[in-house]
Structure 1
Amino acid sequence: MPKTISIASGAMRALLSTSGARLLSLHYDNQPVILSADPEQHPGWFDVYPGALIGPVANRIRAGHVPLSGTTYQMVCNENDVTALHSGPNGLDVREWQIDAQTEHSVRLHHHLDDGDMGLPGKRHITVSFALDDAALTLDIKATTTTPTPMSIAHHPYWRLGNARDHKLQVSADHYLPTDADNVPTGTIASVDGTALDHRTARQLDAATDHNLCTATAPVTQPRAVATLTGTDGLRMVVETTEPGLQVYSGAHLPDLQRTDVAPFAGIALEPQGWPDAPNNPSFPNVIATPETPYHQITRYVFDRAT
């Protein structure tokens, strides 16, 4: 059975689950900042990945095909039978994780994937730690593998800082990845100039936004600020990450759950990750982990109130 874990520090408190290494709720200064719902009352809520750790390959893989070292590996296509979304129907978000260590303000979880699990090579050991300080949540995600394998993990909460329709988002990205009818990157890297995806200055989200904004051309070793989300009452969240991409999703297709705050556009997803479908696009930043170069992501969500 899944276990729930409570951690707290200063103005921050969080509730997590070992099912999907999932952030069930997060509060800053007693204000909820992510969408939440009871999955027993709303069984379809977890179908949209709220708060879960997504992977081992987040986002979409065209036809589920992963070419690697002369072999094409086949992932399960779970979206319209044409793409593997978030590693298929049996991804990390539905796995039971084990608790390694816990303190009042942090917890570390792990999960092991066997060679061939989700259609991908390598025995993979993945750990994630969630740690709170007075005004921030930090995720530290690591993965080792016995053979080269794609690894691009994302954290998938739906952020809601007051009235989500009035959010303003700033992202330090000059380029984005255009997508086709299946929402898979075309391979082109396009300028945000003159598009609804130009968030270099804070603006509200366009309803059709579900795109990767290119915040760097490779991962970095230390997290740097890539985005700022501001709510109507001055509540602000800065996203700091080591990852080169930020998937921004407007929440257009969120379910309408009675007696909850969950509804279309009620929250937005900001998902630091590698660029989507990178294994099929050699010009994208590399997402292949190896025994010599294990995977490591650090992402921080830092809160304050604008003055």
Structure 2
Amino acid sequence: MATRVAELEAGTFEGEAARNFEIVSESGFRATFNAVGARLMALHYPDGFDIVAGPERIEDMLESDIYAGAICGRFANRIGNGRFMLNDKERQLTQNLPPHHLHGGVNGFHRKNWVSEIEDDALVFSLVSKSQEEGYPGRFRARAVYRFDDDILSLDIEARTRRPTIVNLTNHAYWNLSGAKTITNHVLQISAQAYTPTDQTLIPTGAVSFVSGTNYDFREPTLLEEAFGDDQGFDTNFCLEGPRYELHHAATLMAQGREFDLFTTEPGLQLYTAGHHGPELKGKNGQPLRRFGSIALEPQNWPDAPNHPNFPSAVLKQGEVYHHRMEWRFRQV
């Protein structure tokens, strides 16, 4: 069968329609989306098993504010003290994780009701962010295109700006491939020889350290139960080996016969093992979200990049086009 893209019954968001969609691939994978956050809500294997963790309804998504499945921006991840220099001028962003800035601010892209359309076999979301929204300079336009080609889900994000700004856009899906209470039974491999150490508030120190000899070494497939060590889990940026702007392997995740490879055109991968989730957060089927109950693999630029000249640049100038492509290549063995 051919790929099918369809609109489902809409939900509501602040009195407006929050449109729902689904894409069913030729091989029977089914992904569902919501326009608020251009958000991946579920992904079912052909056998019907849903590997996306998180709240079930858009209302619960926004109440929990864990960014589940959403596109985060204008700058995903953290910016120390919410400040950075651009063109010799200090810029102050909202400090929604005091004193820092996280995932675009209080009303970042994850809380925006994106304009949504079906274009042939693709689902297209678009958004305009005004200059000085959350403190970011420049009027900013983003476009996100989801496609399902056989067993490959792709996401292409493009952005343009009226004047220089910073950008870092990713998808923040949480995964659980087995249905177990925690993801410690998952095997993870990351194509990275280095990571960026942080201070106690998870702001990078500016150093780049080798993973060899640490529990950050996922160069070979590693059982997460063995990697956790101090029971703190991970919230860590890995420096990927592949060249920026070219599609390269970031990670492979495996559990209970289900697997996917994650590819990206960006230089980093944030590994987060949901250490701050707990029973107060609503999950699917009436079940609470559990600590370490899912894993986020967020391909992106390195956190706090605007404040570290040795990190990959996050600056987007007028006339330039930001483009980030992600691919999730699923299989069942």
Task: Determine the structure 2 residue equivalent to 1:220.
Answer: 245
Give the whole-Å Cα distance in 2 for the aligned partners of 1:129 and 1:293.
19
Which region of structure 1 is more displaced relative to structure 2, 85-94 or 205-214? 205-214
Aligned to 2:134, the other structure's residue is in SS state helix
- 1:66 CA drift (Å): 1.8
- 2:210 maps to 1:191: yes
Query: Aligned residue for 1:230?
Result: 254
In structure 2, the residue matched to 1:150 is 166
Note if 1:113 corresponds to 2:140.
no
Match of 1:82 in 2: 99
Matched, 1:20 2:70: no
State how far apart, in whole Å, the 2-side matches of 1:287 and 1:157 are: 22
- Cα distance in 2, alignment partners of residues 60 and 8 from structure 1: 34
CA distance 1:152–1:44, change in 2 (3 Å) = closer
- Provide the secondary structure at the position in 1 that maps to 2:188: strand
Instruction: Quote how far apart the aligned CAs of 1:43 are.
Output: 6.4
User: Given residue 291 of structure 1, which amino acid in structure 2 is its aligned partner?
Assistant: Q
Determine if contact 2:41/2:56 at 8 Å carries over to the other structure. Answer: no
The one of 200, 203, 207 aligned to 1:181: 200
Measured in 1, the distance between the counterparts of 2:242 and 2:87 equals 22
Code of the residue aligned with 1:36 in structure 2: it is G
- Specify the SS of the correspondent of 1:63: helix
CA distance in structure 1 between the partners assigned to 2:274 and 2:123 by the alignment: 28
Distance 2:318 2:303 in 1: 22
Deviates more, 1:287-296 or 1:59-68: 287-296
1:45 deviation in Å?
5.4
Aligned partner (choices 44, 52, 63) of residue 81 of structure 2: 63
**Percent pairwise identity:** 33
**Unaligned segments of structure 2, at least 5 residues:** 1-16
Is the CA contact 1:136–1:300 (under 8 Å) kept in the aligned structure 2? yes
Q: Are the counterparts in 2 of residues 218 and 285 from structure 1 also a CA contact under 8 Å?
A: no
Q: Distance in 1 between matches of 2:201 and 2:61?
A: 26
Query: Could you list the per-position Cα deviations for residues 96-151 of structure 1 after superposition, in whole angstroms to 9, with x for gaps in the alignment?
Result: 10014344x42001000111112111111100011112111100000001111111
Aligned to 1:275: 302
Cα distance change on mapping 1:43 and 1:59 into 2, 3 Å:
closer
Q: Deviation digits for residues 214-264 of structure 1, max 9, x if unmatched? A: 00486223x221210011x22111001101000001111113247326211
Q: Give the aligned residue type for 2:269.
A: L
User: TM-score, normalization: structure 2?
Assistant: 0.86
| 1:118 alignment partner AA | E
Change (3 A) 1:7 1:49: same
Distance 1:146 1:110 in 2: 16
Following superposition, the deviation at residue 41 of structure 1 comes to 7.6
**Which residue does 2:53 correspond to in 1?**
35
Q: Does 1:171 align with 2:222?
A: no
- TM-aligned CA distance change 1:217 to 1:284, over 3 Å: farther
Q: Distance in 2 between matches of 1:216 and 1:87?
A: 26
Distance 1:217 1:11, change over 3 A: closer
* Native 8 Å contact 1:136 1:303 kept in 2: yes
Aligned residue identity for 1:237:
F
* Aligned residue-pair number: 302
Indicate which of 278, 288, 293 corresponds to 2:315: 288
- 1-structure distance, mates of 2:40, 2:64: 12
Q: Is residue 2:72 matched to residue 1:72?
A: no
1:249 pairs with 2:249: no
- Residues 27, 190 of structure 1: CA spacing in aligned structure 2 closer, same or farther, 3 A cutoff? same
